Amino acid sequence: MNPIVKRMLGSALARGLAHPSSVDDYLALIDDRLSLAEPRGRVVHAVRQTRDSVTLAIEPNSNWRGHHAGQHVLVGLTLDGVRHSRCFSIASAPGDPLIEITVKRNGAGRVSNHLVDHAQRGQLLYLSPAEGDFCPPSQAPARALLLSAGSGITPVMSVLRTWLSHGASTDIVFLHYARAPVDMIYADELEALAAEHARLQSITVFTGAGGARLDGAALDARVPDLAERETWLCGPAGFMDTAETLIAARSSAPLHREQFAASRRASAHGQGAVQFLKSDIAASGEHGSLLEIAERAGLSPPYGCRMGICHACKCRIAEGTVRDLRTDRVRQVRDTDLQLCIHAAAGDVAIDF
């Protein structure tokens, strides 16, 4: 949208004329991707690389401010009149005009499964600014290990694509674990990139076809110079915990772990009462995170990842005592914005919701 037009439409006069609707409501009548401030995008390609995944190329509007390699984005869509959002890693390199994500089927995950089954060209998606610090430095390392499993390959692909597109001379070992060839996403691209770039060695282990799971012997055999390589690691929580222990025993080089998992979230047991001030509802704080307590009380706070990554559930705590479920730290807060999904009551809590 033209900056001058956006400034005019964002004026107090324009907002007043649009009341009780919003300016965005009127813009949506022209093109539902238009918004004064919210990043939105439209699917331009939907490719199903495997039976349980879909790779989406999304064309964002002018409110998208780009991303760094390895970051993630909160993606929202409207289902039955309600907007639902989830976090997905960005696989595209920074500077690419399209945002690429790959979504895998996820148990009863409503957003993921809907996209896998129904995403198609032209679909509108709501986006957040890119977040996350799983990012390589501006100066690429001389030697690197990219280690992933399952859908953890997506942010690692962003790192790889970034280095290759910038002509970095990094010596790269890309070691990926998948159950079977039919479950392997980005298989064709990795094969082509390894054939094109002599300094890229791509190794895929299929654990469901007799391939050894990650252990010390396998790591030593496949990456004998591990101590000289900086590592980027992403995958299921158990895989990352195992890999981190193995790597730490063999190398003092930096290890970057994508925290796109709830592995370090403590059990959500609390105490005290939780008061939702704007809703005039009180509930026990003994069982569950503040987000879960709100939902059991019949409220519908916004949320995305439910593991402390996306900040979608951040809400103002008027006052109270809370426990951080990642660190077990207890503290008293007043007029503080906190993520409801990773905090529990450690005493009475009053929430402005």
| Residue range(s) in the chain whose domain bears CATH number 2.40.30.10 | 38-132
Q: pTM value?
A: 0.75
121-125, 257-261, 286-290, 327-331: which is most confident? 121-125
| Residue range(s) in the chain whose domain bears CATH number 3.40.50.80 | 143-257
- Residue 73: count other Cβ atoms within 10 Å of its Cβ: 28
- Identify the pLDDT of residue 209: 66
Q: Please enumerate in sequence order all residues whose Cβ is within 8 A of that of 337, keeping only pairs 6 or more positions apart, or say none.
A: 314, 315, 316, 317
> How many Å apart are CA 72 and CA 74, to the nearest integer?
7
User: What is the maximum span of the chain, computed from C-alpha positions, in angstroms?
Assistant: 69
Q: Please enumerate in sequence order all residues whose Cβ is within 8 A of that of 130, keeping only pairs 6 or more positions apart, or say none.
A: 65, 66, 67, 68, 71, 72, 73, 90
303, pLDDT greater than 90: no
> How many Å apart are CA 348 and CA 136, to the nearest integer?
42
Q: What is the pLDDT of residues 160-207, one digit of tens each?
A: 999 999 888 999 999 999 989 998 999 999 999 999 999 999 999 998
Q: Average pLDDT over the chain, rounded to whole?
A: 89
- Identify the pLDDT of residue 14: 76
Is residue 270 within 8 Å of 323, Cβ to Cβ? Answer: yes
12-43 burial, b if ≥16 CB within 10 A, otherwise e? eebeeeeeeeebbeebbeeeebbbbeebbbbb
CATH class belonging to 38-132: mainly beta
- Residue 225: count other Cβ atoms within 10 Å of its Cβ: 11
Residue 263 CA to its chain's centroid (Å): 15
Q: Please enumerate in sequence order all residues whose Cβ is within 8 A of that of 181, keeping only pairs 6 or more positions apart, or say none.
A: 187, 206, 209
| Residue range(s) in the chain whose domain bears CATH number 3.10.20.30 | 273-351
CATH superfamily of 273-351: Beta-grasp domain (3.10.20.30)
> How many Å apart are CA 91 and CA 105, to the nearest integer?
17
262, pLDDT greater than 70: no
% of residues, the chain, pLDDT over 90: 61
DSSP structure class, residue 227: G
- Ordered alpha helix ranges (H), the chain: 3-9, 12-18, 23-30, 110-118, 153-165, 187-196, 216-222, 237-250, 290-296
> How many Å apart are CA 205 and CA 214, to the nearest integer?
9
Q: What is the pLDDT of residues 340-351, one digit of tens each?
A: 999 999 999 999
∠ Cα 300 303 306 (to 5°): 120
> How many Å apart are CA 97 and CA 241, to the nearest integer?
35
CATH class belonging to 143-257: alpha beta
Average pLDDT over residues 76-81: 84
Measured CA to CA in angstroms, residue 182 lies from 6, 45, 48, 50, 79 at distances of: 47, 21, 12, 6, 30
89, pLDDT greater than 50: yes
Is residue 274 within 8 Å of 338, Cβ to Cβ? Answer: no
Is residue 131 within 8 Å of 314, Cβ to Cβ? Answer: no
